[in-house]
Homo-oligomer: A and B are copies of this chain.
Amino acid sequence: MDYKVVEVKENLLIENSEKANQLRDKLTKKGVFFINVMASPGSGKTTLLVNLINRLKNEYSIGVMEADIDGDVDADRIHRLTGVPSIQVHTSGACHLTAQMVEDAISSFDIKDINLLILENVGNLVCPAEFDTGAHLNLVLLSIPEGDDKPLKYPLMFEVANIVAITKMDTLPAFNFDIDKCRNNIHLRNKDIEVYPISALKDQGVDELYNALLKFIKK
A residues near B, CB below 8 A? Answer: 1-2, 4-6, 8-9, 12, 15-16, 19, 40-42, 68-71, 73, 92-95, 98, 100-101, 122-127, 130, 143-147, 149-150, 152-156, 168, 170-171, 174-175
Whether the pair B152, A70 counts as a contact (CB closer than 8 A) is yes
Tell me the number of copies of this protein: 2
Whether the pair B42, A150 counts as a contact (CB closer than 8 A) is yes
Task: Identify 28 residue pairs between A and B in the complex whose beta-carbon atoms are under 8 Å apart, listed by A's number.
Answer: A1-B98, A4-B12, A6-B92, A40-B40, A40-B146, A41-B150, A41-B154, A42-B143, A42-B146, A42-B150, A68-B153, A70-B153, A70-B154, A70-B155, A71-B152, A71-B153, A93-B130, A95-B126, A123-B125, A123-B154, A124-B125, A127-B127, A144-B145, A145-B145, A170-B174, A171-B171, A171-B175, A174-B174
Cβ of A124: which chain B residues have Cβ within 8 Å of it?
A: 95, 124-127
Cβ of A69: which chain B residues have Cβ within 8 Å of it?
A: 126, 153-156
Whether the pair A98, B2 counts as a contact (CB closer than 8 A) is yes
CA distance in complex: A98, B2 (Å): 8
CA distance in complex: A127, B122 (Å): 12
CA distance in complex: A112, B93 (Å): 39
List the 9 closest A-B pairs by CB distance, nearest first.
A42-B146, A145-B145, A95-B126, A42-B147, A71-B152, A40-B41, A171-B174, A71-B153, A40-B40
Further pairs besides A40-B123, A70-B155: 5, Cβ < 8 Å: A4-B12, A40-B146, A42-B147, A123-B153, A145-B146
